Amino acid sequence: MPELPEVETVRLQLLRHVVGKTIKKVTICHQKTVGHDTSFSQRLTGKTIKTIDRIGKLMIVSFRGEKNLYLLCHLKMTGQFFFINANGTFAGGGHTYNASLVSTLPSKHTRVIYFFTDGSKLFFNDMRLFGYTKIADAYTVSLAKSAFGPEPIAEDFDFVKFAALIRNRKRSIKAVLLDQSVVAGLGNIYVDEALWQAQVAPYKIAATLTAKEAKKIAVSAREVLQQALTFGGTTFRNFTDTQGEYGNFRDYLAVFGRQGEECRRCQATICKTKIAGRGTHYCNQCQT
């Protein structure tokens, strides 16, 4: 379940691995992943990767000398990138890596393979086929970007604006925080975590919250995202980095997946319900 910290972890690794590399060939194993684009491979062949940006959970690849060619990459729920060196191993990077995974690639969940001219490869795996890597022009990219609200980790995040925005929202605060057009980057895990830290109950209608509570929620969201970033994200089910490694923030989750366990703040039992159509974890005693 990649959210902002997981996507950023992958982006930073991809920056190290593929920036400046030239695409030699692309093999498409599943057409849906590239938006059924029949010219996908042809349009990317010979292109050199300039950089990779990110907004919310969306990665945007740009190419040298190309002002109107981009690759939009979304992991959705089960998308994974695996980078393999020219010598056939994972890139390494100081920490141990999942070596046994290398021999399984490509696997039955491999959807696209990018071959670079230096012999290295990038695999895009996606078990459930919700993710994509699609070619887009500059206009499409700007449209996609405009659909996102500010990120809580942005230095210039405007807390006053955020409080004003949610003041007339009649949905639960959980639903509002999951809405990428309000704030970008949060998903089911970090919304639950941020609300626990802010001591606000997820079912509360956003409009009923005070400006003070709104600010506390945004500050908590920022802190939770930043902390998760330092741990390389959270692996709850399917997330791995580009070497098949898990994110280590799971050990620090306060509520997500901890239903039936003790609240670390007040020792009450963490409960789980469904809010905004999603599994929702919170402490019914200290989140009010």
Partner DNA sequence: ACTCTTGTTAAAAC
Partner DNA sequence: GGTTTTAACAAGAG
Give the binding-site size for DNA (rule: CB under 7 A).
Answer: 34
Residues 180-239 binding DNA (CB under 7 A) are 180, 187-189
> Does residue 170 belong to the site contacting DNA (CB under 7 A)?
yes
Residues 117-156 binding DNA (CB under 7 A) are 127-130, 147
Task: Please name the residue that has the structure tokens 């491979």.
Answer: 41
> Does residue 279 belong to the site contacting DNA (CB under 7 A)?
yes
- Residue 131, judged by CB atoms within 10 A of its CB (0-12, 13-18, 19+), counts as buried
Q: How far is the CB of 176 from DNA (least distance, A)?
A: 7
Of the pair 47, 131, the CB lying nearest DNA is at 131
Of the pair 186, 198, the CB lying nearest DNA is at 186
Query: Considering only 33-41, 62-70, 171-179, 194-202, which stretch makes contact with DNA by CB under 7 A?
Result: 171-179
Q: How far is the CB of 171 from DNA (least distance, A)?
A: 4
Q: For residues 171 and 125, what is the distance between their CA atoms, to the nearest angstrom?
A: 35
Residues with catalytic function: 2-3, 57, 278
Q: How far is the CB of 172 from DNA (least distance, A)?
A: 7
Among residues 71, 228, 263, 276, which is the contact residue for DNA, using CB under 7 A?
276
Residue type, 82: F
Among residues 84, 175, 198, 209, which is the contact residue for DNA, using CB under 7 A?
175
Q: 259 φ, ψ to 5°?
A: -55, 135
Of the pair 105, 129, the CB lying nearest DNA is at 129
> Does residue 254 belong to the site contacting DNA (CB under 7 A)?
no
Q: For residues 231 and 38, what is the distance between their CA atoms, to the nearest angstrom?
A: 39
Of the pair 161, 170, the CB lying nearest DNA is at 170
Among residues 12, 19, 69, 77, which is the contact residue for DNA, using CB under 7 A?
77
Residues 3-62 binding DNA (CB under 7 A) are 3, 32, 56-58
List of residues contacting DNA (CB under 7 A): 1-3, 32, 56-58, 74, 76-77, 108-109, 127-130, 147, 169-172, 175-176, 178, 180, 187-189, 272, 274, 276-279
